[in-house]
Amino acid sequence: MDPSARNLELEAAAFADLDDLDSWRVYADWLLSAGDPRGELVSLHLHQRDAFRSERLAIAEQLRAREQPYVDDWHVWANELDLLDIEPTFKRGFVESLKGPLSQLEGALDQLFERDPIQRLSLREVDDDALIRLCERRPAWSERLRYLCVSGRVGARGAAALAKLALPKLARLNLLGNRIDADACRHLCDLDTRVLRGLTLTANEIDDAALARLLESPSRDQWRALYLTGNPISAQGLAQLAATDRLERLEALYLRDVDAKLADFEPLLESTKLSGLTILEVSDASWSARALADRMRARWGAGFRMI
């Protein structure tokens, strides 16, 4: 879509929630008024939701047929830019999500975001230098991102670069499988976010000292889910977590495959700082810890998961 023909305000309202039918109706009307035939595609999607069950299969076939030209056109355009390993996800005729190696995407991201209302970006094979080059430009599209995944070999320098981006709409940040340590966590405390509900730090180098740094984050009251599985966190780190203020809104903690034993999780059970917690995921334990597991199950019910 020609960026000059975009209405970023209506677009943002619609893509903020695919189930917000009112916003999508307004957006569909605007698309049609702007001469974009995807307005008809959006309207058909909305009609499908209210249609009789017997009609939905036929409408789904129509939707696939109508969306395919946009998919084909995008791939032709992307191939001309040698974006051969990029995986787009289409929603209602628009690219909503992109996945691919940063080495291919780096020179084309501005064009990609100008073309489509991309909300979700997953970058792989990323190192500190590449992330620094990307972030130091402070691209305007970062302010529209709702989900960002960066995987590779990102450490403290890359985390510092991320902290320079304006990310006011970012709801999920996934840094799985990088080199996030105490220094990197110090920089993550400076992230410029407002609605960061999910932070994934699975399979990094977060020990007790790094966790203590992370828990100093001014944005920790934004968190609803914190993924720390696969990090060298011990009883000391869990005790610090249980004693940290401004975590009352945290709903889910993922702590499988850490150094701590199940008995070390008791401070989380007793903590008044984690009053909103409804999901706790830990590694399976020996029978000697079953009494504590039963107490945890009594508090969190099915939200207590031993895997």
Quick: pLDDT tens for 210-230.
Answer: 999 999 999 999 999 999 999
192-193 vs 147-153, strand pairing mode: unpaired
Neighbours of 41 (CB within 10 A): 19
Check residue 197 and give its pLDDT. Answer: 99
The third-level CATH classification (topology) of the domain covering 85-306 is 3.80.10
Say which DSSP state 258 is in: -
Secondary element (H or E) of residue 196: none
Q: Which residues contact 1 (CB under 8 A, 6 or more apart)?
A: 36, 38, 94, 115, 116
Distances (CA, A) of 108 to 83, 111, 124, 166: 8, 5, 15, 20
Residue 136 token pair: 């130091």
Q: Give the pTM.
A: 0.94
- Pick from 272, 278, 280: nearest CA to 253: 280
| Residue carrying structure tokens 């700082």 | 273
Check residue 51 and give its pLDDT. Answer: 87
Check residue 3 and give its pLDDT. Answer: 45
Check residue 290 and give its pLDDT. Answer: 86
Q: What is the pLDDT of residues 72-100, one digit of tens each?
A: 999 999 999 999 999 999 999 999 999 99
Q: Where in the chain is the domain with CATH 3.80.10.10?
A: 85-306
Check residue 270 and give its pLDDT. Answer: 95
Cα separation, 91 vs 109, whole angstroms: 19
Check residue 287 and give its pLDDT. Answer: 66
Check residue 4 and give its pLDDT. Answer: 47
> Mean pLDDT for each consecutive 10-residue tract of the chain (307 residues)?
72 94 96 94 91 89 94 96 96 96 96 97 98 97 98 99 98 99 99 99 99 98 99 99 98 98 96 98 83 95 96
